[in-house]
Amino acid sequence: MAVGYAFFSLSVFSTSSSLLGEQPCIMVEQFRGIALTMATQAQTTQAFKSPACLRVLGVRVDSVQIPDVIARMTESIRERDGCHSIAATGMHGVVEAQHDASFKDILNATDLVVPDGMPLVWLGRRQGHPLRTRVYGPDLLLAFCEQSAGRDYRHFFYGGERGVAERLAESLKTRFPGLNVVGTCSPPFRPLTAAEDEEIVGLIGRAAPDVLWVGLGTPKQERWMHAHKGKLRAPVLVGVGAAFDMLSGRRKQAPLWMREHGLEWFFRLFQEPRRLWRRYLVYGAQFIVYLMLESLRLKNFEATGSSLPERTPSRRAGA
C-alpha cells in the first residue's frame, strides 16, 4: 500500500508541475528520490514479514542468511512488538521432528527456522533458493555481537553446563569491547521444578535483555523457547545449540573447510563419540532414507504434526 501511495503521489506531483509550470524540475527530481526510497523501504519491510521458505520432511525452514537474520533481530528490538523465537536447526532437528510430531509442530510454529546445516542448504538450492551457506549458530552469535557492540543492546546467555555461560560472556566482552551482557544462567540438566522455573523467568525478567541466547541443545532449547515466549518480555530468543561450548572454549570447532563442506559432523563425532554417535550415524542414515521415501512419494511427511498452528507467511518472522 505504501508503495502504491508513494508512486501515486509522485505522478500527481509531476502532472501538477507540468500544468502549472511553477515548480522547478529539481523539486520533481527530489520528490522522485523520496518516493523511490519509500518504495524500497516498504518492499524491504514486506520481505521481512514474508521470507521465502523450503520444506524439508514437513519442517518449514526459512531461506535466509546471517545478514537477513540480523536485520530481523534488529527490527524486532526496535519495534518491540512481542517476543519472537529463532531456531537454528539442521539434520538432527529435522529427524527429531519425524520421531515426535509435537516437536515438528513447535518448529513450524517458531517465528524463524534457519538452516544450520549444509544438508539443508543443499536441499534449499535444489528447490531453487539462493542459499550461499548455512546459518551457523556460532557465526550468527558472533556476527550479531560484533554489529551490536556499539548499540548497547542487552544480552543474556541461558544454557550450557555450570560456568559455561559465564565464560562465554567474558570471552565475548573481551572480543567485543562495549558488549552489554546483563545476565547469565546455566540451569541443571534435569527437569526444573515449577519454583525453579519461576525463579529463572524472574531473573531474566529483571535483567530485561533485548536478546536472550539459548544454548540447551536440540530439541530442548526449541521446546523451552516455545513454552516461555508468553512469559518473557525479551524481543528476541535465539537457540544456538553448541555455540556456548564452542565460543567459550569448552569444545573445539571444526576447521572452516570442514564446516563449509558438510563435514563438521565427522569432527564432532571424533570428539564425542559416545554422546553423538546416534545423532550422526543413526539419524544421518534415517535422514537419507526419509528423503528417498519422500522423493519416491512412498511417504507423506507433511501429514504428521498438526496440533499447533503453523506460522503463516504473513506473520512477521522473528522481527
Query: pLDDT tens across 208-260, in order?
Result: 999 999 999 999 999 999 999 999 999 999 999 899 999 999 999 999 999 99
Look-up: residue for cell 567474558?
A: 170
Same-domain status, 23 and 102: no
CATH of the domain at 159: 3.40.50
pLDDT digits (tens, 9 = 90+) for 12-39: 334 444 433 444 333 334 433 433 333 3
**Rounded Cα distance, 248 and 46, in Å:** 37
Last residue of a domain, one of 253, 287, 308: 253
What's the confidence (pLDDT) of residue 148? 85
Same-domain status, 122 and 26: no
Same-domain status, 32 and 69: no
11 pLDDT more than 60: no
Same-domain status, 16 and 64: no
**Rounded Cα distance, 274 and 242, in Å:** 16
What's the confidence (pLDDT) of residue 149? 81
| Inside any domain, residue 286 | no
Same-domain status, 30 and 59: no
What's the confidence (pLDDT) of residue 310? 60
Characterize the bridge pairing of strands 154-159 and 59-62.
unpaired
pTM value?
0.80
Last residue of a domain, one of 253, 269, 294: 253
pLDDT digits (tens, 9 = 90+) for 256-300: 999 999 999 999 999 999 999 999 999 999 999 999 999 999 999
| Inside any domain, residue 199 | yes
User: Domain count of the chain?
Assistant: 2
Last residue of a domain, one of 218, 238, 253: 253
| Inside any domain, residue 96 | yes
How many helices and strands (H and E) does the chain possess?
A: 15, 8
Same-domain status, 8 and 67: no
Least confident of 7-11, 75-79, 302-306: 7-11
More reliable by pLDDT, 10 or 111: 111
**Rounded Cα distance, 161 and 297, in Å:** 43
| Inside any domain, residue 298 | no
What's the confidence (pLDDT) of residue 114? 98
| Inside any domain, residue 26 | yes
Asked whether 69 and 239 are in contact (CB, 8 A), the reply is no
Same-domain status, 28 and 111: no
- Domain hosting residue 29, numbered range: 2-39
pLDDT digits (tens, 9 = 90+) for 92-143: 999 999 999 999 999 999 999 999 999 999 999 999 999 999 999 999 999 9
pLDDT digits (tens, 9 = 90+) for 32-68: 343 333 333 433 333 345 569 999 999 999 999 999 9
Same-domain status, 105 and 240: yes
Same-domain status, 6 and 101: no
| Inside any domain, residue 198 | yes
What's the confidence (pLDDT) of residue 150? 82
What's the confidence (pLDDT) of residue 305? 52
What's the confidence (pLDDT) of residue 308? 56
pLDDT digits (tens, 9 = 90+) for 179-218: 999 999 999 989 999 999 999 999 999 999 999 999 999 9
Nearest to 241 by CA among 131, 71, 114: 114
What's the confidence (pLDDT) of residue 304? 60
